[in-house]
Chain A
Amino acid sequence: MASHGIPRVSGASLDKSEQAKQKERKQIDQYKALESEVTDRIKARDYSNATFQATSKLLSQNPEYYTIWNHRRRLLQDVFARELATGPSGPLIDETDAAAAQKAGLTLAQHEIALLVKEDLLFLIPLLKQYPKCYWIWNHRSWLLSTATQHLPVHNSSELWQGELGLVTKMLSLDSRNFHGWGYRRQVVKEIEQLNGSSMAESEFTYTTKMVETNLSNFSAWHNRSQLIPRILSDRQASSKQRQTFFDSEFELITRALYTDPYDQSLWFYHQYLMATLDASNDQALPILDPCTNTGRVDYLEREIDSIKEMLEGAEDCKYIYQALLEYSSRYIEVEAGNKKVSTVELREWLDELRKLDPLRAGRWRDWQEQLKL
């Protein structure tokens, strides 16, 4: 439907042969028959294994069919409720199951729920691989896990969530900017932290280091890093000095990256983030320095303006450099009224370069010129 990246094909090749049409008609009939089977069974409240298998078959053909996912959950809810109602003295207890449950320290109902959840999580794996952007599959996964968390002891649900961390790590190694992947990772980490009562900020921070080292241009990883920084500093109970050392090392990391590729927008965004932590008017970037004094701000602004000026050599056609110089200079002028570092002449020069290099955003540069009174 909302098709992306599928080339348009010629009209002639779309004229199907009679044979192809017949085949398609047959496929449609089969699909509609399966759909009716599922819908009829659910209407009759037939929450049997056969119905469950029919939903599996239909969802494998069409994982976007959200109502069928809902039916599947209704069915599972019914099974779980029955398991929980039967209790340990139910009439049909399989002895091996009972022994396994006992060994795992679970009630029989918990044991059954854990098995069903694990089985359904496995069912989703090939679907996720084939349709990594389908919201409903991720949704169902989250539902399974939160339902398990509700019914199982902490130890068991924590194990399930740990498995998810492994899965999402694998998925992000295949597509390192998968939006759902990063969002899901944050959700999984939050759940494990809650269950275990301990912070994972340090190990997640290390993970982002690994990810940006593999691919500098991974803004999703840089973003996650920026989210973790306030937490690790607070977890470490970092002193003023330690915070400053940390801040310096982040600048070192990003400056090295920028020297490798000053044309990479992701890197500049991270640099902007670091600078935004110095900006008292930006409520979305918590200060890294503590205390974050005006002298501190001026020092860092001066240092970064100098360092970025040096980057110009050999990269005179890189618009991001001029943008950064203008932005940080205008902030510098605000906090350092004496304004020793930058001259109006320089600002004008940078803006002229920007206009030449980036005519697409001419309107923005015009507004900026007015704002800076150049």
Chain B
Amino acid sequence: MSLAAGPGRGHVAVGQLPEELKLVVDKHVAYIQSLDTRKDELEYHLTEHLRIGGIYWGLTALHLLGHPDALPREGLIDYVLSCLCESGGFGAAPGHDAHILYTGYSVQILTMIDGFGALEERLPDCKQKIARFVASHQQPDGTFAGDEWGEIDTRFLFSALYTLSLLGYLPHQRPSEPPLINLPAATAYIKACQNFDGAFGVSPGAESHSGQVFTCVGALYIAGELDSYLGEEGKDRLGAWLSERQLPSGGLNGRPEKLVDVCYSWWVMSSMAMIGRLHWIDKAKLTAFILQCQDPDEGGMADRPGDMVDVFHTVFGVAGLSLLGYPGLVEVDPAYCMPRHITAQISK
């Protein structure tokens, strides 16, 4: 069971969008279900390194759309387990090397389908082994490498923290055990990535970027330090930068003078939600923008209206609509990009 990340087959040109915009739930469900039947396309094979990500994106979208069982659970479990490496980490597909990002996606999938029991049969004490794999990537300065080759990125730090929290292995979740990671060092690194504009970059000194804002805000949120670190003044400053990302089309961009995009819209608005400033942008216009990015005939969402759809933009579009309170959708957790009723069960 695996989801290709390939394009949709929609055929609506820009300008032909229906007057009344509605979320085409059934079509999105059918689109996500169809992604595993693309093996006759070269693109399917060229994007194998995105398989586990594709499953996480597709499954999350289905959960938020209210169809959590639209993909066969057994197939999902088998596939995720086939990506497990000896180290306790997961690769992007069977035979691919373990990486902290794909380990994160695998843990998110297993959490959503309640699959740790099945994993336990294959790998006794599985949660602790995965947690140790993640923790082993922390560097002396607090940050995390993505894999054994040592690339550093705040995305990996965020991934490490949410993975450990889903597994119940953050220091404050196990106060009686020696901590697996140095959490204060991790958050100190995040704080060093903040710029004068209140936003965050990929490393200390790097330009502010909304993808990195999301990972840094998410990391501080999961570490329980977001409110105390930013304070109201810090939230105002960051919120101002984030709110300036909305352009007249209603969509949001990733940095000043860039194009709007559904994926950036999610990273910006989820960060705004975490700091309590989501009311600083026009929610109705953003909702309309996301709906315009749908393929109303074949399902799926694109980066911008009229473009090719893919499962990556589909989940961020649906999650965005959920955060905006679109009727009928399951509530999303802005930090984990997973259903709120599932993350609510994480031990605090």
Tell me the complex Cα distance, A345–B321, Å: 40
Tell me the complex Cα distance, A26–B149, Å: 34
**B95 in the interface (beta carbon within 8 A):** yes
Taking CB atoms and an 8 Å cut-off, the chain A residues in 187-227 that contact chain B are 217, 219-220, 223-224, 226-227
Contacts of A4 in B (CB 8 A): 261, 303, 307
- State whether B9 touches A32 (Cβ < 8 A): no
Tell me the complex Cα distance, A304–B175, Å: 52
Of B9, B91, B206, B313, most A-chain CB atoms within 10 Å: B206
- State whether B42 touches A360 (Cβ < 8 A): no
- Supposing A25-B40, A39-B95, A269-B197 touch, asked if A8 and B203 sit within 8 A by C-beta, the answer is no
Q: Which residue of the partner chain, among A70, A265, A276, contacts B244 with CB atoms under 8 Å? A: A265
Report B46 CB to chain A, min CB distance, Å: 5
Report B52 CB to chain A, min CB distance, Å: 12
**B195 in the interface (beta carbon within 8 A):** yes
Tell me the complex Cα distance, A64–B313, Å: 19
- State whether A73 touches B149 (Cβ < 8 A): yes
Report A352 CB to chain B, min CB distance, Å: 18
Nearest-neighbor residue (CB-CB) of A23 within chain B:
B42
- Supposing A8-B295, A21-B40 touch, asked if A31 and B45 sit within 8 A by C-beta, the answer is yes
- State whether A2 touches B313 (Cβ < 8 A): yes
Taking CB atoms and an 8 Å cut-off, the chain B residues in 1-28 that contact chain A are 5-13
Q: Which residue of the partner chain, among A8, A14, A27, A32, contacts B309 with CB atoms under 8 Å? A: A8
- State whether B41 touches A24 (Cβ < 8 A): yes
Tell me the complex Cα distance, A301–B141, Å: 38
**B151 in the interface (beta carbon within 8 A):** yes
Interface size of B as a range: 35 or more
A-side binding surface: helix, strand, loop or mixed? helix
Tell me the complex Cα distance, A272–B197, Å: 8
| Interface 1/0 per residue, B62-82 and A, CB below 8 Å | 000000000000000000000
Tell me the complex Cα distance, A281–B255, Å: 24
A-binding segment of B121-129, B130-138, B274-282: B274-282
- Supposing A9-B11, A282-B196 touch, asked if A360 and B282 sit within 8 A by C-beta, the answer is yes
How many residues belonging to A are interface residues under a CB distance threshold of 8 Å? 64
- State whether B205 touches A14 (Cβ < 8 A): no
- State whether B207 touches A281 (Cβ < 8 A): no
Of B259, B279, B306, B311, most A-chain CB atoms within 10 Å: B279
Nearest-neighbor residue (CB-CB) of B277 within chain A:
A364
- State whether A364 touches B149 (Cβ < 8 A): no
Report A339 CB to chain B, min CB distance, Å: 20
Nearest-neighbor residue (CB-CB) of A364 within chain B:
B280
Nearest-neighbor residue (CB-CB) of B150 within chain A:
A143
Pick 30 A–B contacts, CB within 8 A, sort by A: A1-B5, A1-B47, A1-B310, A1-B312, A2-B310, A3-B303, A3-B308, A5-B304, A21-B40, A28-B40, A31-B46, A62-B46, A66-B92, A67-B92, A73-B149, A139-B149, A179-B207, A183-B202, A186-B206, A217-B257, A219-B255, A223-B207, A223-B208, A226-B196, A265-B256, A276-B196, A282-B196, A284-B195, A359-B282, A362-B282
User: A residues near B, CB below 8 A?
Assistant: 1-12, 14, 21, 24-25, 27-28, 31-32, 39, 61-62, 64-67, 70, 73, 135, 139, 142-143, 177, 179, 182-183, 186, 217, 219-220, 223-224, 226-227, 264-266, 269, 272-273, 276-277, 281-282, 284-285, 359-364, 367
